[in-house]
Amino acid sequence: MATKGARVRVLLIEDDPRQASSLLRGLTGDGFVVDVAGDGSTGLAIALASEVDVVVLDLMLPGMNGFEVCRRLRDAAVWAPILVLTAKTGEYDEIEALDTGADDFLMKPFSYEVLLARLRALLRRGVRERPAILTVGSLQLDPATRVCRRGDAAVSLTPREFSVLEYLMHHAGRVVTKDELLDHVWGVDFVGSANIAEVYVSYLRKKIDRPFEVVTIETVAGVGYRLVRDG
């Protein structure tokens, strides 16, 4: 059993009526208070208007998909743990879900007992703190709102560009190898060309350096990259 006597509130955002009904019965039987939304917009509205302890979020939703729901919740400083459910396969969906603020990821079909264990683990961790804003020189990156700024100017980044820059900023001043970037951003099971790291560093330079006539991403020949203060 999950939480006998506890009044833990779960927001379930799932458009499949049979899946939603099954999870509602199970979670209610295990002592949770459950709100159910059948689409992304309704789920987002419930989460913004009320206190929820944990969100179970499907990715493939009508109207507003799960990625956007997750992103908007974090942008609004809603830090309840989010467990993403999806029938989609492929590491890129998992990466994007985690990059947009999800805390855990579960592929359909799944065991209810596994979902329950994942929820218990998320609840033990509690509501996470708002991530600190990363600053290197005039460059700022806010992991909570997914906003990048160079001084007063906003810089638009894709989720993958954001992840590369975030890793470089976390390790500012030291050399980050291409293998590190690949493992962290694309995953240890990535089987594509290692040149993908070079491609995304090039994208970043075109957005955060060249328009401002600065150099913050240095190439260390034969090794990788180092992010430094505006130079």
Find the CATH number of the domain harbouring 48: 3.40.50.2300
Would you state the pLDDT for residue 17?
93
Conformation bin of residue 187: beta by default, left when phi > 0, alpha when psi is -120 to 50: left
Residue 139 and residue 117 in one domain: no
Residue 114 and residue 187 in one domain: no
CB 170 within 8 A of CB 132: no
CA-nearest of 143, 165, 179 to 216 is: 165
What is the average per-residue pLDDT within 68-89? 84
What is the average per-residue pLDDT within 171-186? 87
Confidence band of 188 (pLDDT split at 50, 70, 90): low
Helix axes 195-204, 159-170, angle to 10 degrees: 90
pTM of the complete model:
0.60
Question: 10 Å Cβ neighbour count for 227?
Answer: 23
Share of the chain above pLDDT 90, in %: 46
Last residue of a domain, one of 97, 125, 153: 125
Q: Give the structural domain span for 107.
A: 9-125
Q: What is the distance between the alpha carbons of residues 218 and 30, in angstroms, rounded to a whole number?
A: 54
Whether residue 88 has pLDDT greater than 70: no
CB 123 within 8 A of CB 83: no
Is residue 152 assigned to a domain?
yes
C-alpha gyration radius of the chain: 20
Rounded mean pLDDT of the chain? 86
Last residue of a domain, one of 125, 160, 182: 125
Half-sphere exposure of 77 (CA within 13 A, CB side): 4
CA-nearest of 168, 163, 182 to 227 is: 168
What is the average per-residue pLDDT within 158-178? 89
Biggest alpha carbon distance in the chain?
60
CATH of the domain at 205: 1.10.10.10
Confidence band of 94 (pLDDT split at 50, 70, 90): confident
Is residue 208 assigned to a domain?
yes
Q: Which helix (H) or strand (E) holds 10?
A: strand 9-13
Q: What total number of domains does the chain contain?
A: 2
Residue 52 and residue 117 in one domain: yes
Q: What is the DSSP letter of 218?
A: E
Residue 83 and residue 141 in one domain: no
Q: Which helix (H) or strand (E) holds 203?
A: helix 195-204
Whether residue 2 has pLDDT greater than 60: no
Q: What is the distance between the alpha carbons of residues 23 and 83, in angstroms, rounded to a whole number?
A: 13
Would you state the pLDDT for residue 228?
92
Retrieve residue 79's tokens: 């830090």
Would you state the pLDDT for residue 145?
74
Residue with tokens 């995304």: 200
Last residue of a domain, one of 125, 144, 177: 125
CB 155 within 8 A of CB 162: no
Query: Residue 139: is it exposed, middle or buried by C-beta count within 10 angstroms (0-12/13-18/19+)?
Result: buried
Question: In terms of pLDDT, which residue wins out, 190 or 118?
Answer: 118
**For residue range 115-142, what is the model confidence (pLDDT) as tens digits?**
999 999 988 887 666 667 889 999 999 8
